[in-house]
């Protein structure tokens, strides 16, 4: 039985694709349904699916960044982008080794994609090279999504005190149960919001997820190193501690 993964932040669209795949590809086992790019990166590395259906625009990491990581952590995984873009992007997709589905996904179009995936279920070496070239094209040419103003201030708790924390002063965020620890040069405080929700509010050019439980301010990183297992360590400027970078996320730093 083939294994599939779906990464889509809108639950109705995700559920709809699961239903359509159940009809078009009954022997495809959906091993993971992901709500954001960071979860997709780790799930692909863990499950090594035969195919990953990736929304291009997701909180945190984009589908393009997820595909970039997957090319290293699970090179046999075939990529299918699910996108709201029209003819502007289709030419780029058709030149690559990946397939694409336009939202809302049409059953007939999905059936064509499934037929192609079944005919060649695993990505080949030349497919991976073509995918990397396509990702560069997409990053350069796809129109940027208008962003809401990134979060500027946080209200955080430090003991019995309530603090206003300037987001630019945050070194990193660390998940702790249902809350998030906010670390600045002045100490730690707590916000009543999970890491995933915070990620969607932060400037993605400045704050990057490096682990399931950690978001780091890229301006606070002094250096990055890698151990023999492929995991990384981010050393912070003027600090003694280092932050663990899980192996699936390490590939994202090589393109910077």
| 150 and 178 Cβ atoms separated by less than 8 Å | no
DSSP element (H, E) containing 42: helix 37-47
Give the Cβ contact number of residue 53 at 10 Å: 28
pLDDT at 89: 58
Q: Which residue has the tokens 């022997």?
A: 27
- pLDDT for res 139: 65
pLDDT at 181: 96
**What pLDDT, on a 0 to 100 scale, did the predictor assign at position 130?**
72
The model's pTM: 0.81
* CB atoms closer than 10 angstroms to residue 256: 7
Q: What is the pLDDT of residue 190?
A: 94
What per-residue confidence (pLDDT) applies to 148?
63
pLDDT of residue 253: 76
pLDDT along the chain (256 residues), means of 10: 95 96 97 94 95 88 87 90 70 66 93 90 68 69 62 90 94 92 94 88 90 94 84 91 90 68
Domains assigned to the chain: 2-141 (3.40.50.2300), 153-254 (2.40.50.1020)
- Say how far apart CA 92 and CA 247 lie, in whole Å: 29
Query: Which residues on adjacent β-strands are paired with residue 156?
Result: 163
Cα 7 to Cα 53: distance, rounded to the nearest angstrom: 6
Phi, psi of 198 (to 5 degrees): -65, -40
Q: How many residues does the chain have?
A: 256
């Amino acid at each position: 039985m083939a294994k599939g993964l779906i990464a889509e932040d809108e639950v109705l669209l995700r559920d709809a694709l699961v239903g359509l795949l159940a009809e078009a590809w009954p022997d495809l086992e959906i091993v993971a349904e992901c709500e954001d790019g960071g979860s997709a990166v780790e799930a692909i590395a863990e499950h090594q699916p035969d195919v990953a259906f990736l929304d291009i625009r997701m909180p945190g990491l984009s589908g393009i960044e997820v595909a970039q990581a997957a090319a290293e952590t699970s090179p046999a995984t075939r990529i299918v982008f699910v996108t709201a873009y029209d003819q502007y992007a289709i030419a780029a997709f058709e030149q690559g080794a990946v397939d694409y589905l336009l939202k809302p996904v049409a059953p007939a179009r999905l059936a064509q994609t499934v037929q192609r995936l079944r005919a060649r279920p695993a990505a080949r070496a030349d497919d991976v090279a073509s995918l990397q070239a396509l990702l560069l094209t997409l990053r350069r040419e796809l129109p940027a999504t208008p962003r809401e103003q990134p979060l500027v201030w946080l209200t955080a708790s430090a003991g019995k005190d309530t603090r206003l924390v300037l987001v630019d002063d945050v070194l990193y965020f660390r998940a702790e149960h249902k809350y998030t620890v906010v670390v600045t040069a002045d100490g730690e405080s707590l916000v009543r919001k999970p890491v995933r929700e915070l990620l969607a509010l932060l400037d993605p050019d400045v704050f990057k997820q490096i682990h399931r439980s950690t978001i780091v301010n890229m301006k606070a990183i002094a250096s990055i190193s890698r151990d023999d297992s492929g995991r990384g360590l981010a050393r912070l400027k003027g600090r003694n501690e280092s932050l663990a970078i899980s192996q699936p996320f390490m590939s994202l730093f090589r393109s910077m």
